[in-house]
Structure 1
């Protein structure tokens, strides 16, 4: 924060500006923030120039009202929700989930690899390593562990918040006033060689020795921290956005917000659902939704804000809350719960060609289908954001992506190769040069031979040498065994129960096991093929956490699927079915037939084996009902998204499913009794999670 530092007799005093709404009856529009007598004068935007105060840049040029914040697209990582390919950092979205490369496949960075893997120095995806195995960074370790390395030497993977007081920690982060490490169970550490390396010792956390937190101050010397061993340090006195210009002592790692934050980090890292997250996203928002409930996520963000910048959120007046700190003061469980989707009220007025608005009060996306007869008949739902400025308007329909070799066409421009012959797209023939397998004709893939990339026949079953499924014939995938052998092309859904296999999914999904299911214990990524599980609860019952989505198989082995936000008017989420549930059984019947050891799937281009176009080719050559197969596929892979859709959702989001006449209509089940979470949250800075044990004195950095 901006502060004026004044020298007084024998001390360094801090003078801070006051942040307050302007007075006097005059109108600052379009200005919403300016400097007056070294203080910050504010006015909430509500005029024709816009309803959002743009506080980017410097206030010396005044802050002005604009129509809304700039649109920022944060791309999702493998395992996270998506609507279209461009939502994903890998540019591949299947069944509303971003897809990454599997074990053994080539990569450039961790972002290329699927959940449970990382990109090695040899540029291939490998399984994350377990406790006590050598590492050089956290991302190589399983998601519940960090790498106890130093700046100059490798370390080993150890569970987060597991090292006791006095233990040596490799990466003690210097926070200027105290050291922090998310490997120490206290969250605090002390550097052994400050300024030279990161090696430290786990210590007790420091705490403000006053009954009231936060503490008003005028100089650093008033911000004393002590710990239980009798140690003391001088903290920092910082300016915030106080309406009277007060400064406040920064939070120590033992103060309330940091304590609460640490306990939530511990809850997060010890929850088995953390394995659902991409290695680089283990501490990001999506991963928090896998392990914490909405009220806990709210408390997490509030505590994080206070622990990071205590002074900023103290004694804000209304204008400061609305302009600078609206996110903090508007935190509620609804912010982190599923959004509702539905047709807007008939009385709602729509501006121009608006097709999506977000109502913050009711936490719902209001939908308004575009006019199908208009030139602007397409709504880009994927760019909608959960704020009142995020209206989406109807636009011209995007051009259909070009078809791949083997798919239908009417002219050359329909094809990715720009070659259409007799109504079918043609690609590069065997022996022709290529840069990717998508360029090759049906039955071929792109491989480097004699320093040249050419299209060659797909690898047969039980033959080694594959690096991805697309190298194998269409009925087989590239299997990397637990023994570390090179990839071998193996028929999908062919391995018998009991076969050892890499298994890093809590739900047990595995496309090589006969049953489509494998099982591994705890955090292990190695397991065996087993029988498919059945859900414990009836399908269609709303859920709030993954822990409510459990199932067992005939061997009484426990499984857990995901609690997924749906597209319904109530903002409910639902459990993804298991393969032993009716939608899963129908899916397995379809997929095993589709991937039969011989048949029309071999008429599809290798990179398109799971595409809708390939399903259509299959149906055309087997005289089967494409609609039936495709609906069975969607009813399993998209089950939570199909429950309780209203007409606008059917017309705009799940049109692929609902536009086809079918007997499948997923139904919601009545809500279970309300459970009082008994949680109290105070914006003043002191937060309490009911039921938590003694809070650990630490903070993740």
Structure 2
């Protein structure tokens, strides 16, 4: 069964969804000199609570615009509440849809239909696809270590680029091996660039050893690896006013105050990238990415439980650390309905792999 790490909802920029999540997270932090109004414009966060009266049949969320409150009711067993599809509206329970088969090359299988791609094969319990030079229409058509190049015309399976070889961005499919990053057109070891290094902005999140970077002035194609900013020396989590900014301890960076999921509309400052809890997550991402067995995974399986070579502690550590970061503000003050509807991935995580 394929299990997707549900950390980010934006389109992937990197082949590694863990790095993509890291990149999206640190993009929240902006140099204070680039913000015109650091005091921001305050507003009120919504309230979330278990409904005190029964909702309509099969209803799980009812929004009250007068009180800016989401009244909640947990769905019956076998159903879920599609809250992400709605905003300031009612939501109704839907049945869970089982995961469809379609494993990538290198995944375990019993029959060819367990595998994806246009010409699926199950050989000795492993999904197999095209070798180097084989025709392909999409990425699952190529075996581990290969990618489908020149889509949509005359596309063939070709090896991922190795250390020192020329490369392009992930979107061009001229991508590096799973433990490398493309820096100005050349593959190099991931997380190998220190403070002050100028790197390709599109790959900065997978190149900077500090876990943080900022853009070069007037050149968004280049970034500078920088020391990760920390939260002020205050008890965490720190409450803040919605619409305002939280400022780093050194005063150099700011991040928007974040609304929580609670009954009193409380908002909190996010973890800064230099905070201990975030650094634990970042170090887990680095350890996962630089584990030698990662090159045995199809690049679409990086960060997923479906790669048989990257399961157990190495995967669990990074998933658990990511969960702590992602739900740092969202998990505060949750009642049972919030836990079940909005934050079930945190309170009721899937079994370890």
Per-residue displacement from partner, 1:384-407 (whole Å, max 9, x unpaired)? 230xxx322222212324332223
Which residue does the alignment assign to 1:639?
328
Contact 2:145 2:177 in 1 (8 A): yes
Distance change >3 Å, CA 557–CA 430, structure 1 → 2: farther
1:196-223 CA distances to partner (integer Å, 9 max, x unpaired)? xxxxxxxxxxxxxxxxxxxxxxxxxxxx
The SS at the match of 1:355 is strand
Alpha-carbon separation, structure 2, partners of 1:273 and 1:415: 49
Partner Cα distance (1:584, 1:447) in 2: 36
Please give the secondary structure, in 2, of the residue aligned with 1:293: coil
Q: 1:380 aligned to 67, 73, 82, which one? A: 82
Counterpart position of 1:511: 206
* Cα distance, 1:612–1:566 mapped onto 2, change above 3 Å: farther
Partner SS for 2:283: helix
Alpha carbons 2:229, 2:253 under 8 Å: kept: yes
Offset of residue 547 of structure 1? 5.5
Match of 1:498 in 2: 196
**Residues 381 and 439 of structure 1: CA distance in aligned 2, closer, same or farther (over 3 Å):** farther
Following the alignment from structure 1 to structure 2, what is the Cα–Cα distance between the partners of residues 410 and 540? 48
Q: Once the 2 structures are TM-superposed, how far is the Cα of residue 353 of structure 1 from its aligned partner? A: 1.2
What is the alpha-carbon distance in structure 1 between the residues aligned to residue 218 and residue 5 of structure 2? 26
Give deviations 1:585-635, integer Å, cap 9, x for gaps.
Answer: 211221111011x42222322133234545x75124xxx274443110221
Task: State the shift of 1:573 in Å.
Answer: 3.1
2:41 aligns with one of 287, 293, 302: 293
Shift of 1:464: 1.0
1:272 aligns to 2:272 (yes or no):
no
Q: Could you tell me whether the CA contact under 8 Å between 2:40 and 2:245 is conserved in 1?
A: no
List aligned pairs for 1:328-343, cutoff 5 A. Answer: 333=43, 337-343=44-50
2:126 maps to 1:424: yes
Name 1:528's counterpart in structure 2: 224
- Taking the aligned partners of 2:104 and 2:188, their CA distance within structure 1 comes to 25
Contact 1:518/1:529 (8 A) holds in 2: yes
Maintained 8 Å contact 1:546/1:560: no
* Alpha-carbon distance in 1 for matches of 2:127, 2:336: 37
Match of 1:354 in 2: 59
Match of 2:280 in 1: 586
Structure 1 residues 649 and 441: alpha-carbon distance in aligned structure 2, compared to 1, 3 A threshold = farther
Count of paired positions = 325
Question: Which of 270, 289, 304 lines up with 1:576 in the alignment?
Answer: 270
C-alpha contact 2:259 2:267 (8 A) present in aligned 1: yes
1:659 Cα deviation from its structure 2 partner: 1.8
Contact 1:498–1:529 (CA<8 Å) still a contact in 2? yes
| SS of structure 1 residue aligned to 2:132 | coil
- Unpaired runs of at least 5, structure 1: 1-91, 103-113, 116-269, 275-287, 295-332, 481-486, 663-701
TM-score normalised to structure 2 length: 0.77
Query: 1:488 deviation in Å?
Result: 1.8
Q: Distance in 2 between matches of 1:352 and 1:602?
A: 50
Change (3 A) 1:384 1:627: same
Aligned equivalents of 1:504, 1:534: Cα separation in 2: 24
Whole-Å Cα distance in 2 between the matches of residues 458 and 574 of structure 1?
A: 42
Deviation at 1:94, TM superposition (A): 6.3
Instruction: Tell me, yes or no, if the aligned pair for 2:169 and 2:202 is still in contact at 8 Å.
Output: no
Compared with structure 1, are the counterparts of its residues 577 and 595 closer, same or farther at alpha carbon in structure 2 (3 Å cutoff)? Answer: same
Residue equivalent to 2:27: none
* C-alpha distance after superposition, 1:101-134 (max 9, x if no partner): 58xxxxxxxxxxx99xxxxxxxxxxxxxxxxxxx
Higher relative contact order, structure no. (Cα contacts within 8 Å, ≥ 6 residues apart): 2
The TM-score, its normalising length taken from structure 1, stands at 0.41
Cα distance in 2, alignment partners of residues 429 and 608 from structure 1: 18
Looking at structure 2, the residues matched to 574 and 447 of structure 1 have their Cα atoms a distance apart, in angstroms, of: 45
Q: Distance in 1 between matches of 2:318 and 2:81?
A: 27
Q: 2:254 aligns with which of 551, 557, 560?
A: 560
Choose the corresponding residue for 1:474, options 158, 171, 178. Answer: 178
Post-superposition Cα deviations, 1:334-391, rounded to whole Å, max 9, x if no partner, equal: xxx433333222xx1222111222122332222222221x5xx1222222230xxx32
Between the aligned partners of 1:587 and 1:342, the Cα distance in structure 2 is: 30
State the distance in 1 between where 2:259 and 2:86 align: 16
Asked whether 1:658 is paired with 2:350, we answer no
1:369–1:652 Cα contact (<8 Å) kept: yes
Structure 1: distance between partners of 2:138 and 2:225: 33
Query: Radius of gyration: which is bigger?
Result: 1
1:600 match: 293
Aligned CA distance change for structure 1 residues 363 and 421 (closer, same or farther; 3 Å): farther
Which of these residues, 301, 304, 311, is aligned with residue 619 of structure 1?
311
Q: In the alignment, which residue of structure 2 is the partner of 1:443? A: 145
Asked if the contact 2:296/2:309 (under 8 Å) is kept, the reply is yes
Shift of 1:408: 3.6
Q: 1:476 to 1:538 in 2, by over 3 A?
A: farther
Whether the aligned pair in 1 keeps the contact of 2:288 and 2:314 (CA below 8 Å) is no
Does the 8 A contact of 1:541 with 1:574 survive in 2? Answer: yes
In 2: Cα distance, 1:425 partner to 1:564 partner: 43
Aligned-pair RMSD on alpha carbons?
3.6
**Measured at CA, do residues 546 and 360 of structure 1 come closer, stay the same or move farther in structure 2, by a change above 3 Å?**
closer
Pick which of 496-505 and 562-571 moved more: 496-505
